[in-house]
Amino acid sequence: MNFFEHQDRAKQKTTRLVLLFGLGVLALIVSVSAIVVFAFASMDANTAHLFQAYGARALLAPEVLILLEYVGAGVIAVVLLGMFFKNMQLKGGGKNVAESLGGKLLNPNTQDPNERRALNVVEEMAIASGIGVPPVYLLEEEGINAFAAGNTHHDAVVGLTRGCITHLNRDELQGVIAHEFSHIFHGDMRLNMRLVAWLYGIILIGLIGRIVFRLAASSGRSRGKNDNKAPLLIAGIGLMVAGYAGSFFGGLIRAAVSRQREYLADASAVQYTRNPAGIAGALKKIGASSHGAALKASGASEFSHLFFGEALPSSFLGLMATHPPLGDRIKRVDPRWDGSFTTPSRKPQDPKREKKLKERFGFGGKGVATAAVLGALGQVGEIHEYNIQDAQTLLGRLDPVLHEAAREPLLAKVLIYGLLQSKDPAIKVTQHALLEEKLGELHEVNNLLTRLATLEAQLILPLVELALPTLKTLSPSQQTTFKETLKKLIEADGKVSGLEWSLYTILSQSLKGQEPKSGHKTLLTCKAHAQVALSVLAHASDHDTAKAFAQAFEKLDVGPMELLKKTALRFRQLEHALEELSTLQPKHKQRLLEAMIICVGFDGVVSPGEIQLLKAMALSLGVALPPLIASA
């Protein structure tokens, strides 16, 4: 099942979950209504008389029906209010979840070897998948655990416990992180965030019941023993029971959904790393550790379904367990497991195989074969062993000074500014004057600008992706100033190149972290917008523009369409077109991307510049392409 099929499946799962949640709220309305009617019957003589005279038929009396309507509306209002409140808390994405769990942003310049190894593995995995490198948070917990949280891969973070980075070797850590990236790719992360908000709305009923109970109890003590507080006490207890019963059944839904997704993420981790010993070893170490995967953080219960391992002791005979039994998970990835929680040493890899992997790609070629790029589209949302090897190759060729600069806020901004340097000496003078005004006289700035001038084209996007977690630490006002400076650098020569638009689009898309729009449109309804996107790509290529456009549009199968003239195209027009195209159904989005690749690869090769433009446009559509290294 590819990425686009997973998106369709995720939509179906969300729809089913909404139906189950709706049934839970309906059951909550019925139970709360019964409690409130009982409380009123014991407090109001007229209501009590109705039930004494008519029994259950009294529920049809106008005054009782009105009461039930008010109760039903009140329950729905409370649940929606709770959901809205929790959604607002989680709007900041994974950062808010990590901080609520006591996580601290891992210092990119840390000298701790375990922390640096964790950062390196996350960087490799992110670049191998084509998404921006997520910020890494460290939880000072002894348990071996990890999580991925966020609404989209733009605002996603990866959290690791101290026990995880200390006790796991590199292969095991890679397996755990690959497991978490699977949750990002398959839509589990976003679904998990929704579950948190929905369950909070149900729990809020119980919290209100507790408040009512306490108010009734305290008012009774202050007014004397004869005060008739019994109905309020009954209502408070009833609301507490109803709220926590709703929470119980909601927890069952959450646990059932989470357990199935954990099996898939384990299998995906094996598929990504081609090393079942990695994730199996991590699971065995959890079983062997006295701390296991347990967490002490106060928010652990609310976010328990986000973690790699069972963060809390399961109850109710395991029905509320958010993760499958540890032994079952190990058996699925290591069928020969003997039941012992010891970690076997990994067999050394075949040196010949290692050599083949390292020689698979080279640098300095014209570009990537079109067939290879089309093949990469089929790997979106997945990571293969050679993707990780590609990421390691890219990071290995990157200037260490630039790599380190990407981890420091001021220098990370300089890197992006420097990538926009013009080759025209006169324009470059104007740009440098602007940077001097913004940054002052800094030796590091001139050093970085000199190094960036000779940076290989294939290393531009990996460098940008490395700088993203650092740039996300900038305050909103600093990010605004940063983007305004980028615009001024781009506008210095009075025109916008494909590279300039690509870099600005990738950065703005990644920094704003908006939730993707719900896909429901078809290519037929978005035909004019597809025409704009393909026309821009056709004109950006060096080959026969008209034929490339015609062949690409033939792939869309939406009827004839003419190539737009280059003079009639503007990048703002392209941005609007991509915004509309981002609402395509997943299968239509896949077809559009295939047409885009055919357009830029009409001559059989996709150049580094075309790859940059293609990746920026794909990111605007909500699709992260894996790394594409030009063949030798």
List, as one string, the DSSP characters of 305-350: GGBSS--S---TTTTT-SS--HHHHHHHH-TT--S----PPPPPPP
**Distance of alpha carbon 394 from alpha carbon 461, whole angstroms:** 10
Q: What is the pLDDT of residue 315?
A: 56
Chain-centroid distance, C-alpha 541? 33
**Which residues does the annotation mark as catalytic?**
180
CB atoms within 10 A of CB 441: 7
**Distance of alpha carbon 257 from alpha carbon 320, whole angstroms:** 11
**Distance of alpha carbon 538 from alpha carbon 564, whole angstroms:** 10
Domain ranges of the chain: 1-344, 384-512
Q: Are 515 and 189 in contact (CB under 8 A)?
A: no
Q: What is the pLDDT of residue 450?
A: 87
Low-confidence ranges of the chain (pLDDT < 50): 1, 226, 347, 349-364, 631-632
Q: What is the pLDDT of residue 295?
A: 92
- Specify the 3-state DSSP secondary structure of 317: coil
Q: Are 580 and 524 in contact (CB under 8 A)?
A: no
Q: What is the pLDDT of residue 268?
A: 82
Q: Are 627 and 396 in contact (CB under 8 A)?
A: no
Q: Are 243 and 209 in contact (CB under 8 A)?
A: yes
- 369 Cβ partners below 8 Å, 6+ apart? 601, 604, 605, 606, 631
User: Per residue in 122-155, pLDDT tens?
Assistant: 999 998 888 888 999 999 999 999 999 988 888 8
**Distance of alpha carbon 466 from alpha carbon 463, whole angstroms:** 5
Question: Rounded to the nearest 5°, which phi and psi values hold at 109?
Answer: -100, 20
pTM of the model as a whole: 0.75
Q: What is the pLDDT of residue 106?
A: 92
Q: Comparing C-alpha atoms, which of 194, 181, 127 is closest to residue 3? A: 181
Indicate the helix (H) or strand (E) that contains 44: none
> What proportions of the chain, in percent to the nearest 5, are helix, strand and coil?
65, 5, 30
Question: Rounded to the nearest 5°, which phi and psi values hold at 513?
Answer: 60, 35
Tokens at 618, concatenated: 């794909």
Question: Rounded to the nearest 5°, which phi and psi values hold at 308?
Answer: -70, -40
Q: What is the pLDDT of residue 399?
A: 92
